[in-house]
Chain A
Amino acid sequence: MNEPLSFLSAWLLGFLGSVHCMGMCGGIVGALSLNTKGPNIAIHLSYHLGRISTYAALGFVAGLIGLWLASSHAYMGQLLRVLSGIMLILMGGYILGRTQLLMWFERRGSFVWQKVQPLSKQLMPVRSPKQGLLLGLIWGLLPCGLIYSTLSWSLVAANPLHSAGLMAMFGLGNLPALLSFAAFAGQLNRFKQTPWVRISLASLIMAFGIWTILAPWLN
């Protein structure tokens, strides 16, 4: 595992980062769906499928940009690597609640959200897997620091398909936490508020960031 840009690390990033988004995106689908007779698995899964597809599409675009930058400027690849490592470190700080720099990115990103958000109005409450899918596709564009840092990280791969795969794996990494949230909302909420849980998760993500920066020299 010499190259940090592997699918496994993308999955781990998603998994580690999901403390942040559990409360934000997890229970929503369940709560907004109209089914009173227990959670509807099909709706949940279709929502996440939509969400992950959007991530993958974003990753594809990021990969294209990365490819263009890396092939047109000799040192750009290195520069991007360093920048994305820094973004991951910021992400760790963000989860700790220590730095709000990512929020600056979120604010910049929210103009996209303002354009697409009205589309989601008609999809709530969610009644069918189809609506779940569409909602997921739209809500994948939420202004989220986590996504932005992962996106900048996937950009380093400089290959549209690879970047798309990385982003999809990141989305899959969120899945365990987001899906279980509906079921064990209470316990998980307490668990993730525990300081040592946050600190260890955040430091792991920061370690990823450092590794991403240093990887070329480690080989």
Chain B
Amino acid sequence: MTECFHCGADVPQDVLIELDILGQARKLCCVGCEAVATAIVQSGSETFYHYRTDVNETPEFTPASLPQTMKMELALYDNTDVIEELSEASDNNTRQINLIIEGITCAACAWLIEKQLKQFSGVEFANLNLSQHKLQLRWQQDLTPLSELITRIYALGFKAQPYSPDQAQKQLESEQKKATQRLGLAALGMMQVMMFALPLYVGDWAGVFEKFETYFRVASLIITTPVVLYSARPFFVAFWRDMKSRHLTMDVPVAIAIGSAYLASIYSTLTQGEEVYFDSVCMFTFFLLVGRFLESRTRLKNCEAGNHLANVLPRSTLRIHPLDKTETVVPVSQLHINDHIRILPGATLVADGTIVEGQTSIDESIITGEFLPIQKHVGDNVIGGSLNVENPITIKISALDKDMQISTVMSLLDRATQDKPKIAILADQVAQHFVAAVLVLSALVFISWSFIDSDRAFWITLSVLVATCPCALSLATPTALTAATSALKHHGILITRGHVLQTLTRSKRVIFDKTGTLTLGQLNIEKIITLNGTEQNALQIAASLEALSSHPIANAFTFSPLLSVNNLSQQTGAGLQGEINNQTYKIGLAHYVLKQAPAAPDNGHWILLANQQTPLAWFLLSDQLRADAPSTVAALQASGLTCEMLSGDHSGQVQLIAKKLNLDKVQGGVNPEGKLNYISTLPSGDASIMVGDGINDVPVLAQAPVSIAVGSASDLAKIHSDVVLLSNQLQHLPLLIKQAKRTSIIIKQNLIWALLYNISVLPLAALGLLPPYMAAIGMSFSSLAVVFNALRLNKLRLN
């Protein structure tokens, strides 16, 4: 008999239930076990089955061979200054830090990280927040250094970096906490007061409970008081603010209704009067707070998403002592002008400077958008932020921090952020008129009823105020936006600014960057022309030579099996030379490969392979289009958007891609400033969408009415975008637009429903047919209708 994989019981013979767990079909004994196991697998906690026998047993992890530059950075985490800057002291010896963990896909990852960290001595607390990817860590630096902990996280296959929330988020967090408390208090108060109120309303019991009425009223008063003073406080604060600024908002009638109903009820309780409204007060407060709560939660989530991307990793570099030439690892903040620093291949330059030793090629795409590295020799100027590709170099620093050339991009950015068109808050303007009307109307109702039946004038006016409360109206937009945003997030589309979904519906134009956005930003062999021998043979020789090079071109060549190469030598910026089977081959630029090189087939990016006598083959290299680019552009055009391309690239590739994708308009060779200028000439009514990835796109992303960064984009680009396509798939763009349109429809439906409701109950309330508690219940139902309608946005499917 087999044992149930989940519970260990025998599997009865006539039962066949199988489930794929840990990559194998496992037999299970019953539907219950199947259900539990499915839940575990789907929640990503599959590893549970690995460890369940002994929870403390952990697999062996060998620290992955971290790149040299990463090791240097990690060493910095033990620098006292750095630690003090990044973490806070919590106790003596104990410090606390927040780390953002990248690469978490499931609960099991979180589980693994926490368990692994807790095994170190000195780690007192490790808690990973799954939705925020934020690890809270409390540890003792003298027992286990931070660098060791972070190394372990890297070894597990995740990335960790320090995180510090900005001021705005801290404020939002505390707001959210208060909102939760207010809501909770109002909910409790409402339930209690309703319990006291119901027996008095319900016909049959009314007689029985009459003698308790005074007691019930006093109890309700005691419970309602904190609800009014604490939960409803924001309404009174806003009322006072509005009075001072003479600006009507929804808070004015709300504060009047709550305040007057509360005071009237106290008076009524003390004088044994006819009616008390404690239940209506609590209910009203509660339902209004639900709306506030949802809204503040959305804002917090958006803010978190933005903060997520902020990179506060301390950067380090190797400083070379001018006399004894010794190298020390120092934080970038401790560098000075004229210092000599060593930049290893694969590292980013931390400062502007001049090369004093070595020659290399440098990828300056961060500034220029051009994807091919540029040749640099001793004496040449290099730009901070660019990437050293081939050889180690030593540079003498000429500019640091704010003086670096890349900072000009940043200052463009500041300008762009200020120029961002403001989205008029339409709802606020509508509400102001609406509120004024409600106030006038209530006054009229009160005056009229004072003449007709002065005893009923007060509660009828109260009913009017409650019934016309634009509660559903104020929920209409935030609930729809929350639902739509969270559905998009599940598809890997992160909305970081609130206005996006509304603005997208007005958009008429999409502008794409080329490199890294429409293309993958990697070189590929597009075409091979053989001059001598077979294509296979040429490719094999070329790939064997390139296999040993770190130049980005090398990645384009793949072949298996490779041949063994002897005496490989590299001439920076020109090509490679090596011996295969005692025959010398060269690959690279035509004039380097052969003295009398044949002319290239056209002006594309061709490189030549030759032996010592004859040319063998031409390879045409180009940046490859994303697979989903054509379908995305087609889908966007079908939905009525104009698709354009704006690229910093000068080459002929720009036109080529434009033709392939059938774009409506194309501009090549545009620098960041030019892009910015172009965007500002576009009519603001078009609500143009800019899609980009590089640092050179950052200013234009910041200024565009809607900016979208693809997942592979630089962090800076992500920070300044309204939307990040985390899944790195262009085909999510049409989905985003579709969701924006659906959201706009739902918001309109909600607004219409809310207005219709308010207008239709108004006569009932004004005629005195609706007691205040019924008005409050009606209001909550109309709000619920709005919420449920908004929840329909949660369902979202590709195509």
Contacts and interface: CB of A to CB of B under 8 A. Distances in A.
Interface of A: 20-25, 27-28, 30-32, 34, 36-37, 97, 100, 103, 106-107, 109-110, 113, 117-118, 120-125, 127, 139, 142-145, 189, 192-193
Contacts of A144: 31-32
Interface string B105-133: 00110110011001100000001001000
B10 A28 contact: no
B208 to A, nearest CB: 21
B48 interface: yes
B447 interface: no
Interface centre among B9, B10, B33, by most chain A C-beta atoms within 10 angstroms, is: B9
A207 B356 CA distance: 94
A193 B10 contact: yes
A36 B118 contact: yes
A109 B56 CA distance: 36
Contacts of A120: 39, 43
B69 interface: no
B: contact size bracket: 35 or more
Contacts of B36: 24-25, 28, 139, 142
B528 interface: no
A24 B6 contact: yes
Given A24-B30, A97-B10, A143-B32, 18 more contacts: A23-B8, A23-B33, A24-B6, A24-B32, A31-B51, A100-B14, A103-B31, A110-B35, A117-B35, A117-B38, A117-B42, A121-B39, A122-B130, A124-B40, A124-B44, A139-B36, A145-B32, A193-B9
A107 B45 contact: no
B30 A125 contact: no
18 contacts: A25-B36, A28-B36, A30-B55, A31-B51, A34-B111, A36-B55, A36-B114, A36-B119, A100-B12, A100-B14, A103-B30, A117-B38, A120-B39, A121-B39, A122-B130, A124-B40, A124-B45, A127-B127
Nearest to B42: A121
A36 B42 CA distance: 23
A103 B36 CA distance: 15
Nearest to B31: A106
B110 A125 contact: yes
Contacts of B42: 117-118, 121
A144 B29 CA distance: 12
A30 B48 CA distance: 11
A120 B44 CA distance: 11
Interface of B: 4, 6-10, 12, 14-15, 30-33, 35-36, 38-40, 42-45, 48, 51-52, 55-56, 107-108, 110-111, 114-115, 118-119, 127, 130
Nearest to A103: B31
Nearest to B17: A103
B15 A103 contact: yes
A27 B108 CA distance: 17
A193 B1 CA distance: 12
Nearest to B116: A36
Contacts of A117: 35, 38-39, 42
A37 B56 CA distance: 9
A109 to B, nearest CB: 8
Given A100-B14, A103-B15, A117-B35, A32 B45 contact: yes
A139 B32 CA distance: 10
Contact of A36 (B4, B39, B56, B107): B56
B16 to A, nearest CB: 11
A139 B40 CA distance: 12
Given A36-B118, A124-B107, A142 B40 contact: no
Nearest to A141: B35
Interface centre among B10, B35, B45, B118, by most chain A C-beta atoms within 10 angstroms, is: B35
Contacts of B10: 97, 193
Nearest to B55: A31
A106 B32 contact: yes
A23 B3 CA distance: 11
Contacts of B31: 103, 106-107, 109-110, 143-145
B33 A24 contact: yes
Given A27-B52, A97-B12, A124-B107, A36 B32 contact: no
Contacts of A122: 43, 130
Contacts of A189: 8
B120 to A, nearest CB: 12
Contacts of A20: 9
Nearest to B14: A100
B52 A31 contact: yes
A97 to B, nearest CB: 4
Contact of B7 (A24, A37, A125, A142): A24
A137 B8 CA distance: 25
A123 B9 CA distance: 26
Interface centre among A22, A24, A121, by most chain B C-beta atoms within 10 angstroms, is: A24
